[in-house]
Chain A
Amino acid sequence: GAGVSQSPRYKVAKRGQDVALRCDPISGHVSLFWYQQALGQGPEFLTYFQNEAQLDKSGLPSDRFFAERPEGSVSTLKIQRTQQEDSAVYLCASSLSGTSGSGGEQFFGPGTRLTVL
């Protein structure tokens, strides 16, 4: 079956532009996560959805970052007024489990590489 897909795969933005990154999770997966991976580092958690509810947004670095999952399936991560420090790979993951603390396996998409000039 299809895995997690993300689009676009690459995005170049000028500083100050707004960008929107899309994630299509595996069908039927309850949980959806966004991570940010800076060059040469491990991924860092941004936000988590259980169905359409955003249960944890503690990792969002500023109020310029906004995520939504209005119908409990596709999710969009939006970054307003992009800055150079936003340059990173943005990874989306989905998990069948919705139970907090269950540690259900997360399946990752290929990521979107964002470069802010």
Chain B
Amino acid sequence: SQELEQSPQSLIVQEGKNLTINCTSSKTLYGLYWYKQKYGEGLIFLMMLQKGGEEKSHEKITAKLDEKKQQSSLHITASQPSHAGIYLCGADITSYDKVIFGPGTSLSVIP
């Protein structure tokens, strides 16, 4: 089984709607990263979370870390077509910056 699980696997939303993507780790989290990927391109860094209860926001995207539950959520408010892509959570599960990734969540936003 995967060390990092993401849900949902894919998401189709109407423009303007809110949405949440979840990431769950089977191991202790030393750091949690959210990235976005467009097809055929590299990963674009969104946010990094390190402490339990930490919450960060950038424009309309908010990420939270629940360290006890080894979970993180990514919330997009008032989605736009520019938010479409694959969202990947990455986790540092060691003390030496070994970063592994979940399977990704594919987001489509319909105008």
The answer to whether A and B interact is no
A interface residue numbers (CB < 8 A to B):
none
